[in-house]
Structure 1
């Protein structure tokens, strides 16, 4: 098979598309003929040699990627043979191996997919979708809320906008540049604002007409976060998530709930009833059409280009590699 391997930590060019031996499923495992593999910003950080929230860096060479969808083409001992030929999606957990034509995972991680569900959308649901649903547990929106979503054109931001709108909230989506703000508007945000414009907070205040924001879902941090926090009213909730978010200064007596990637997992699981419960809920929301993931697709052989585009914020929604 062909896979993308990293032989040395460093720039995106270190990702090499090459031929490697086919993986063989062991006891309790299944092999997936990959149709779509998710790319995460964490993959790019690990590629450069940054450990991030991982317990340790992977041994080299390694095949990055932890989210795959496709068709089961082989199973190991003690695995129900009815999985063979089924359309599935799986999050590989801490084990890499997704950037490949074939990927092996524990059979207990598999989720069956209905016919007609796009493999790339399923990949977005199993990773980005479960994270978005885990985030909103800490600040559930409702019809009385004014929700601001920085990075609203990203994978998680796209779904947070949709979720808040489904809950009846007024939603303001922030994104960089006219193309992304147009996508945010098309995604259902009541107001889409270009945060690269110097007067964007004034545009938000004018639109709200005296109302204050009640919830901010912030995975960005930095200057944008500080300006967004200033739009919150007393008692407003500012939820910080994502290991890559820049630091921000707090104050003004707001209730601020910070959830970093390192603690999001345990807190999220305690509220959700387990990781698989979140995955099932995310997939159900996508199948029902209530959540509609945005996807930027690249051929598997162009994984390096996918990383570069993701790092320079040149993508919309979930980045997916397709063999």
Structure 2
């Protein structure tokens, strides 16, 4: 099979497209002919050898990627024949191997893909979608909520905008550049602003007419988060699930009197298991309540996908297609 392999930590150019041996499913496993593989910002950190929510790979070369969708084409010992030929999606957990034409995973990890979802959409919901479902558990979204969502044109942000609107909240989406802001507005935000405009906080305050924000759903950190948190009123919530612009891990620069800050871990479970969050995400997409935005790259161009993701030139979930 063809796959992307990482032989040494470093820049995106370290990702190479090459021929490797087909993986063999073990007992209780299935082999999937991959039609779509998810790319996560965490993948770029692991490629550089950085430690984060997951440790860097301990052995190289490795095939990156932890989200796949495709068709089951081979079964390991003990797996029911009914899985053969099914359209499935799976998060591979701590085991990499997604950037490839074939991937192996435990049958307990797979979900059958709803008929009205394509493979790339299913990949978006199994990773990004489950994260969004985890975040909203803490947000108390409803008709009285005013939600500020930085990076609202990204994979998670797109889903958070839709979910908050479905819950009746007033939604303010922040995005980098007028084109992305226009996408956020088209995606349902009540107000979409370009955070590259230094006057954006004043524009939001003027639009709100004195009404404070109640929650910031923050996967960005940095100065954008600082300005967003300043929009919150007493009793507001700053929910942190990422820090792509840096600075949020220490927390203290973002603490504002009367505002609670909650930093979520990589597994955002509350009263629901990871599998339950995955099922919820797929069900929301199948019902048409959530529609993931997807940006597709050929598998062979994984390095370009990493470049685009790190330089914020992507919209929605980044997916590789063999």
Q: Same fold (TM over 0.5)?
A: yes
- Once residues 112 and 278 of structure 1 are traced to their aligned partners in structure 2, the CA distance between those partners, rounded to angstroms, is 15
- Residue 306 of structure 1: aligned partner: 305
| Structure 2 SS opposite 1:272 | coil
Matches within 5 A, 1:262-273: 263-265=265-267, 268-269=268-269, 271-273=270-272
Residue 173 in 1 paired to residue 173 in 2? yes
Structure 1 residue 116 displacement after superposition: 3.2
- Once residues 115 and 17 of structure 2 are traced to their aligned partners in structure 1, the CA distance between those partners, rounded to angstroms, is 30
- Residue pair 1:67, 1:98 contacting (<8 A) in 2 also: yes
- Residue 145 of structure 1: aligned partner: 145
Deviations, residues 64-83 of structure 1 (Å, cap 9, x unaligned) = 00000000000100101100
Output the aligned Cα RMSD: 1.1
Q: Please identify, of 62-71 and 233-242, the stretch whose mean Cα deviation from structure 2 is larger.
A: 233-242
- Once residues 165 and 172 of structure 1 are traced to their aligned partners in structure 2, the CA distance between those partners, rounded to angstroms, is 10
- Residue 155 of structure 2: aligned partner: 155
Give aligned pairs, total: 318
Structure 1 residue 57 displacement after superposition: 2.7
Deviations, residues 166-219 of structure 1 (Å, cap 9, x unaligned) = 000000000000110011011000000000001000110111111110010011
Deviations, residues 210-244 of structure 1 (Å, cap 9, x unaligned) = 11100100111111111111110111111011264
Structure 1 residue 264 displacement after superposition: 4.2
| Structure 2 SS opposite 1:303 | helix
**Deviation >4 Å, runs of 4+:** none
- Residue pair 2:217, 2:238 contacting (<8 A) in 1 also: yes
- Once residues 17 and 31 of structure 2 are traced to their aligned partners in structure 1, the CA distance between those partners, rounded to angstroms, is 20
Structure 1 unaligned residues grouped into runs of 5+: none
Residue 253 in 1 paired to residue 252 in 2? no
- Once residues 60 and 204 of structure 2 are traced to their aligned partners in structure 1, the CA distance between those partners, rounded to angstroms, is 47
Distance change >3 Å, CA 7–CA 27, structure 1 → 2: same
Structure 2 unaligned residues grouped into runs of 5+: none
| Structure 2 SS opposite 1:301 | helix
| Structure 2 SS opposite 1:16 | strand
- Once residues 289 and 116 of structure 2 are traced to their aligned partners in structure 1, the CA distance between those partners, rounded to angstroms, is 16
